[in-house]
Amino acid sequence: MVSTRIDWVREHCQLLRAISAEFGRTRPFDGLTIGTGIHLEAKTVALLLTLRDGGARLVSTGNLNTTQPDAVDRLRAEGVTVIGEPTKDSEVHAGYLGEVLAAEPDLILDNGGDLFAGYLDRPYQGLLGGTEETTSGRMRLEPLRDRLMRPILVINDSPIKQFAENEHAVGQSAVESFQRMTNRVTNGEQVTVFGYGACGRGVAACFRGAYARVSVVDIDPVTRLRAHLDGFSTPPRDTAVAEADLIVTVTGARDVLANAGHFPAEIDAAGLIGAAEVSGTREYADDLLTLELSDGRRIHLLARGHMFNLAGPRPLGNSIESMDLGFALQARCQEAVARRSVDATSCVVPVPGSIDAAIARGYLDRKYPR
């Protein structure tokens, strides 16, 4: 019998395997429903099955343009309720999120703030709190603290998540995905990275490591100075765009300009396609779209502005080890909320330091057993 990629991932998620075995004994989620809206791919399967092993009933849906059918099939076979199918339609996706909330989960595992924002539109009794995965979601939920009034731990604000996944793994997966989707060279190409947070730093560094020439655009002059001192060129925005062979956005903001941030709104794809300068379009396999401009130039849009390191042919996303660390944080934070070890004063705040330390020790102990 040939094992699947999901089996390969679960075998190498050593932290989640250990937590899963512990949860099987301690059952922190007995009697609780966890509603999730997160990219459904092989590594997410490992996380959700870990929560299930802790006694949770799971009601899950994916994100736009990243849901992988084999992950859905496996989760359903394992008894997880999965809402919907892969979609690029934001209205269809909103309907799937509504179905998750209709189950009135006790805990929410959110990715971009969609479920918590939806809860405020249709509140119900019994929500204990939960987790938010992304910076994009934290920016969305921070102004809503006074209405949420529940513990919501932001995974992306953990230093482990910042350096392990965002800085190292996002950059690695962005380069890998660009090459896989386009089969184009990076050597000597001019790459412009919009945003120089942890993800932007990783993307810039990894493209430089792939022998590209890299420039950085950021609205914060201090951050721009950091990029300059890190050895990247930091020209004005219009100059950087005009010179770029490839533009990657990692800002979390809308309408910036291949997107490696969470929301597809970073690139106004509809606006680009409908621009007066576009004389025609050409679609290729593997989620590639070419815009032909009236002056003869061409713009290639990867994954129609969606998160391109989880789109296109055979999407792999970030490395297994980085996601094992990040999802171990998720599992422990969900446990903390379920056990009421955090309260409403922890509304949209970073992962507790004690959890960070425990995850770091667990990972290193497996690398350097005593």
State the average pLDDT over residues 115-143.
96
pLDDT of residue 264 exceeding 70: no
In the structure, what pLDDT confidence band is assigned to residue 262 with cuts at 50, 70 and 90? very low
pLDDT of residue 300 exceeding 90: no
State the average pLDDT over residues 230-246.
95
Query: CB of 207 within 8 A of CB of 186?
Result: yes
pLDDT of residue 67 exceeding 90: no
| pTM for the model | 0.82
Q: What is the DSSP letter of 261?
A: S
- H helices of the chain, in order, are 5-12, 14-26, 42-53, 69-77, 90-102, 114-121, 135-141, 145-148, 159-160, 170-182, 198-209, 221-229, 237-243, 269-273, 320-338, 353-367
Tell me the pLDDT tens digit for each residue of 36-60: 999 999 999 999 999 999 999 999 9
Tokens of 320: 């297994």
pLDDT of residue 259 exceeding 50: no
pLDDT of residue 366 exceeding 50: yes
Tell me the pLDDT tens digit for each residue of 133-169: 998 899 999 999 999 999 999 999 999 999 998 889 9
Query: CB of 237 within 8 A of CB of 195?
Result: no
Query: CB of 50 within 8 A of CB of 20?
Result: yes
Mean pLDDT of the chain: 90
State the average pLDDT over residues 109-131.
97
Which among 91, 89, 93, 88 is positioned nearest to 111, based on CA atoms?
A: 93
Which of 26-35, 40-49, 71-80, 287-296 is predicted least confidently?
A: 287-296
- Spatial separation of the C-alpha atoms in residues 55 and 23, rounded to whole Å: 8
- Spatial separation of the C-alpha atoms in residues 257 and 235, rounded to whole Å: 16
In the structure, what pLDDT confidence band is assigned to residue 256 with cuts at 50, 70 and 90? very low
Q: What end-to-end distance do the CA atoms of the chain give, in Å?
A: 36
User: Which comes out higher in pLDDT, residue 366 or 50?
Assistant: 50
Quote the pLDDT of residue 312: 66
Query: CB of 62 within 8 A of CB of 86?
Result: yes
pLDDT of residue 353 exceeding 80: yes
User: Which comes out higher in pLDDT, residue 71 or 264?
Assistant: 71
CB proximity list for 153: less than 8 A, separation 6 or greater: 130, 131, 132, 333, 336, 337, 342, 346, 349, 350, 351, 352
Quote the pLDDT of residue 255: 47
pLDDT of residue 261 exceeding 80: no
Quote the pLDDT of residue 311: 66
User: Which comes out higher in pLDDT, residue 359 or 261?
Assistant: 359
User: Which comes out higher in pLDDT, residue 313 or 81?
Assistant: 81
User: Which comes out higher in pLDDT, residue 258 or 40?
Assistant: 40
